[in-house]
Amino acid sequence: MSDKNSKSKKLKENLFYNIKDVALESKKKNEEKIEKFSINYKDFLNKAKTEREAVKIAIEKAKQYGFEEFDPNKKYSAFDKVYYNNRDKAVILAVIGEESLESGTLISAAHIDSPRLDLKAHPLYESNSIAYFKTHYYGGIKKYQWPVMPLSLHGVVVKKDGEVVDINIGEDDNDEKFCISDLLPHLANEQMQKPLGKAIKGEDLNVLVGNIPYDYESGEDLVKLNVMKILNDKYAIKEDDFISAELSFVPAYKASDIGFDRSMIGSYGHDDRVCAYCALEAIFNCKKPKKTVITVLADKEEVGSDGNTGLNSNYMMYFISDLAKSEGLDVNHVLSRSMCLSADVNAAFDPGFASEFDPNNSSYMGLGTVITKYTGHGGKYSTSDASAELMAKFRNIMDSNDVVWQTGELGKTDSGGGGTVAKYIANLNIDVVDLGVPVMSMHSPFEIISKFDLYMTYKAIKSFFMS
């Protein structure tokens, strides 16, 4: 009996897929590196809560690593480092490879926008002596998750003469915060009967911003006036300046370790700053690549990638075209020979909601970076399905570099679905596959990831760049 068992055990080890032990071994071995990487990542999360803030930090850091602003008329040579700033909301970084662009480029594309509450053009109003800002939510949110938590306000107001006023209120412990109210349970008999999707509506996401009237007088709109006066004193703006502003409310709290073992990180905006951070660190630490490597940090993914800072526009192609021209090459040929890791998060299997996942085809927190062959929805619509040949290539890159990785679909077939920038890049005839970090409570104001998966995603992108 025992002999027979050990024979089957051996055969199982040889033929079955199992990464649990590999992941545990790697966690133990890399414990210190994982922790160090996580500390720096949390710092990035706390400072980069919008795409504009992420671009600013990326460029500041890039300059420290010797990156220079891209000049399309300049001829670059091997290992030169450049960045291209697209309207302060998206950025491309590149390290010129040893080989000619004729052999294609290696691209890693992540997005730096996250779901949040944007201000409308006429945001400020007063109702029953309370001043509010009206919002229009950005990206896929569950609206009931946003009331009753501290919010901070981030963004820019651009005055008619072009002067840009940066706004960041609520991140410092001593700063004022903002919030949306909810109905007390004592009076919520009717509200509690509503389905989750209807209990809080889009037009209910109004943020409290003041309660004292100007000069303690009584009269119409004096609380509103007082708020406007405070803003005017501090930023020299008037009500119509909101028309040319991009202001967003995001959760005011900081990223923190989760669990007694501190194995996880909870934060706003892991999707997709976690992959953006990995793609940045990968290009900063990529020494003398053979092929030209490119990190793209894109905007507008959460709303379908449309607009000139999203990857459904041509700015990445224009950038590669400029590089190609300087070598006298046709951009089409460079693109057709390029490969891309679309670095974006996937849904981690959640035991609390197990029925929405296929346990055999989901990614799990703590089992490494997840390679996703296709995203999309019901019947593989609206996605780039990576070819078997490409999947094999990536398996090989990952395994040759001790990257612990898993594979996973976004939930059960027909449970819903989602997309990434992969399809837009694939439309340029580039070979693309999705890779990223499994996330729990994705798109909520407090998403959760595993520190191990974070580190493995960095290792994966770096290994790809050096391949």
Could you list the residues that contact Mn ion (CB under 5 A)? 271-272, 344
Report the residue number, 111 or 154, with the smaller CB distance to Mn ion. 111
Burial 230-249 (b: 16+ CB within 10 A, else e): ebeeeeebeeebbeebbbbb
Report the residue number, 366 or 419, with the smaller CB distance to Mn ion. 419
> Please, are residues 335 and 317 in contact by the beta-carbon 8 Å criterion?
yes
Closest residue (Cβ) to Mn ion? 272
> Please, are residues 435 and 394 in contact by the beta-carbon 8 Å criterion?
yes
Is residue 319 within a helix (H) or strand (E), and if so which, with residue range? helix 315-326
CB of 157 to Mn ion, least distance (A): 27
Distance CA 72, CA 58 (A): 20
CB of 422 to Mn ion, least distance (A): 11
Q: Which residues pair with 16 in a beta bridge?
A: none
Distances (CA, A) of 421 to 286, 373, 459: 23, 13, 21
Q: What is the identity of the amino acid at 296?
A: V
CB of 76 to Mn ion, least distance (A): 31
CB of 436 to Mn ion, least distance (A): 8
Report the residue number, 241 or 272, with the smaller CB distance to Mn ion. 272
**Which phi and psi (to 5°) does residue 430 adopt?**
-105, 145
CB of 435 to Mn ion, least distance (A): 12
Report the residue number, 271 or 299, with the smaller CB distance to Mn ion. 271
Distance CA 289, CA 286 (A): 7
- DSSP per residue, 27-51: HHHTHHHHHHHHHHHHHHHHH--SH
Is residue 95 within a helix (H) or strand (E), and if so which, with residue range? strand 90-95
Dihedral in degrees, nearest 10, Cα atoms 37, 43, 47, 52: 0
Report the residue number, 53 or 272, with the smaller CB distance to Mn ion. 272
CB of 278 to Mn ion, least distance (A): 13
Distance CA 108, CA 420 (A): 13
CB of 99 to Mn ion, least distance (A): 31
Is residue 196 within a helix (H) or strand (E), and if so which, with residue range? helix 196-199
CB of 460 to Mn ion, least distance (A): 16
CB of 272 to Mn ion, least distance (A): 4
Report the residue number, 431 or 447, with the smaller CB distance to Mn ion. 447
Distance CA 423, CA 257 (A): 34
Q: What is the identity of the amino acid at 22?
A: V
- DSSP per residue, 132-167: EEEEEEESS--GGGSSSS-EEEEEEEE-TT--EEEE
Closest CA to 98 of 280, 285, 286: 286
Report the residue number, 271 or 453, with the smaller CB distance to Mn ion. 271
Report the residue number, 271 or 431, with the smaller CB distance to Mn ion. 271
CB of 418 to Mn ion, least distance (A): 7
CB of 242 to Mn ion, least distance (A): 27
Distance CA 125, CA 223 (A): 9
Report the residue number, 38 or 372, with the smaller CB distance to Mn ion. 372
Report the residue number, 140 or 359, with the smaller CB distance to Mn ion. 140
Distance CA 44, CA 299 (A): 17
Report the residue number, 48 or 95, with the smaller CB distance to Mn ion. 48
Distances (CA, A) of 143 to 184, 244, 299: 17, 26, 22
